[in-house]
Amino acid sequence: MFHVILFEPEIPPNTGNVIRLCANTGANLHLVEPLGFGLDDRSLKRSGLDYHDLADVSVHANLADCVAALEGSRIFAVETGAARRYADVQYRDSDAFLFGPETRGLPAVVLDGIGREQQVSIPMRVANRSVNLSNAVALVIYEAWRQLDFASG
């Protein structure tokens, strides 16, 4: 199935929502430290409700460790400045989607390492900054899963 990578997430309810999303879609969640909260944070648990036990969540000390754990997976960086739209890519089972921190997005060094051809964006109105993190993850994961006819991974 797919992999969701949250690079240095900052807002517990967003991560809780993504945990719930991953539990319901079968996607594996990878959290790259440092995290802006503790995994025992009340608001994280509240937003994830009782889905924590149903989701496959891994925590990585850094992005390099995360990428190493995903050997063989294509990694797509979801970033507002990317030229290619997320819905214009033909996804494969085991693809991974990398999302940046809520307040600053992915650093240039990370985007450079991913490469332009592996960057995708979510269309939105001109002059708007970004889509909420958990909403962005939902859009991308459901499009990728739809392309696989919602087959179980």
Structural domains in the chain, sorted by start: 3-147 (3.40.1280.10)
CA dist., res. 75 & res. 71, Å (int): 10
State how far Cα 47 lies from the chain centre.
17
The tens digit of pLDDT for each residue in 17-71 reads: 999 999 999 999 999 999 998 887 676 766 655 677 788 999 999 999 999 999 9
CA dist., res. 150 & res. 66, Å (int): 25
142: Cβ contacts below 8 Å, ≥ 6 apart: 25
Predicted TM-score (pTM) above 0.85: yes
CA dist., res. 77 & res. 60, Å (int): 17
Q: What is the pLDDT of residue 45?
A: 67
CA dist., res. 73 & res. 87, Å (int): 18
